Amino acid sequence: MKDFIHTLRFKVFLVLALLLLGLMLYSASTGGFASAPSSVISAVTSPIQGIFRGIGSIFEGNPSEKALKAENEKLKKENQELTSKIVDYNIMKEQNEEYKKYLGIKQENPDFEFEHAKVLGSDPNERFYGFTINKGTTNGVKPKDTVITPDGLVGFVKEVSPFSAKIATILDPSANAAVYSSQTRDSGVVGGTFELAEQGFTKLSYLTKESRVAIGDLIVTSGLYGIYPEGLVVGTVKELKPEKQGLTIYGVIEPKTDIRKVREVFVIKGFKGREEVSSQ
């Protein structure tokens, strides 16, 4: 109401009110409104009536404006709900694609016992992109369990607690895996280095000069030593270089799974042959 007092409308109202008061005093002295011309009375009273209607709308609100505001709020709410549904749909679609790949691995390896897990976070000081997952011993996760995505090998369980576990990735030198080329069957060992880890790559070592491994070959786990099951995809050969001593060569491997962007994984808690090797 205080804001209205300072408006032009209020000032006009005040002037017209004074005019009306003067007209009333004049009419009283001349015998009332009956002697005043109707056009004069109308000219004075009509704006005043309009102003009073405006004042009433300030307190009561304009019905059309209220309706528009309500409709706008309704549309906003519907838009938010639709946006939320689209986001949920995209997440579900992505998850379904991941599970389809997982089911493919499960069908090819019925002996695999899986545990789905989400990445909780990573240590910023971790040079090999290790991370922590939200599953632990209460879910049957054990040290040295293999960790994968539907695209390929990620690493292994390094440490485990009741409700979480730390994962060492294949970019880590401690995550050595016996492997071979699916094209040539030449074997070697994959293990990380500081230099290659910065690029998201790992190293294929122990290749002889006579090795037939070529750039573009697909590298998979061999299953030797029972740490990793056989047939898991590691990555492809990006480069081949001679070792410093010149007696052997090594390959630079680009993992099929981008280790630096992993958000969900599957832990292989058991597979055929692991128990036999572990008990030796």
Same domain, 38 and 167: no
Average pLDDT, the chain: 80
Same domain, 252 and 190: yes
What the block records as the tokens of 142 is: 């054990």
Residue 7 lies in a domain: yes
Same domain, 13 and 118: no
pLDDT score of 45 more than 60: no
Quote the pLDDT of residue 59.
46
Same domain, 53 and 122: no
Split at pLDDT 50, 70, 90, the class of 265 is very high
Same domain, 120 and 256: yes
Same domain, 35 and 161: no
Which residue's structure tokens are 């070529």? 214
In angstroms, the CA 204 to CA 190 distance is: 4
Residue 129 lies in a domain: yes
Total structural domains in the chain? 2
User: Residue 251's domain spans which residues?
Assistant: 114-278
Residue 78 lies in a domain: no
Quote the pLDDT of residue 82.
74
Q: Which of 22, 43, 61 is the last residue of a domain?
A: 61
pLDDT score of 279 more than 50: no
Same domain, 57 and 120: no
pLDDT score of 277 more than 50: no
Split at pLDDT 50, 70, 90, the class of 30 is low
Residue 109 lies in a domain: no
Listed residue (185, 189, 98, 103) closest to 149, CA to CA: 98
**Residue 196 sits in a domain of what CATH number?**
2.40.10.340
Q: Which of 29, 45, 61 is the last residue of a domain?
A: 61
What the block records as the tokens of 135 is: 């599953």
* Percent of the chain whose predicted confidence (pLDDT) is above 90: 45
In angstroms, the CA 224 to CA 265 distance is: 23
Selected residue with higher pLDDT from 159 and 59: 159
Residue 264 lies in a domain: yes
Split at pLDDT 50, 70, 90, the class of 90 is low
Quote the pLDDT of residue 138.
97
Residue 81 lies in a domain: no
Same domain, 125 and 260: yes
Residue 221 lies in a domain: yes
pLDDT score of 2 more than 60: no
Same domain, 139 and 245: yes
What does the pLDDT average to over 40-44? 53
| Count of beta carbons in the 10 Å neighbourhood of residue 193 | 17
Same domain, 22 and 124: no
Quote the pLDDT of residue 112.
86
What is the 3-state secondary structure of 187-244?
EEEEECCHHHHCCCCEEEEEEECCCCCCCCCEEEECCHHHCCCCCCEEEEEEEEEECC
Same domain, 147 and 258: yes
Same domain, 37 and 131: no
Residue 82 lies in a domain: no
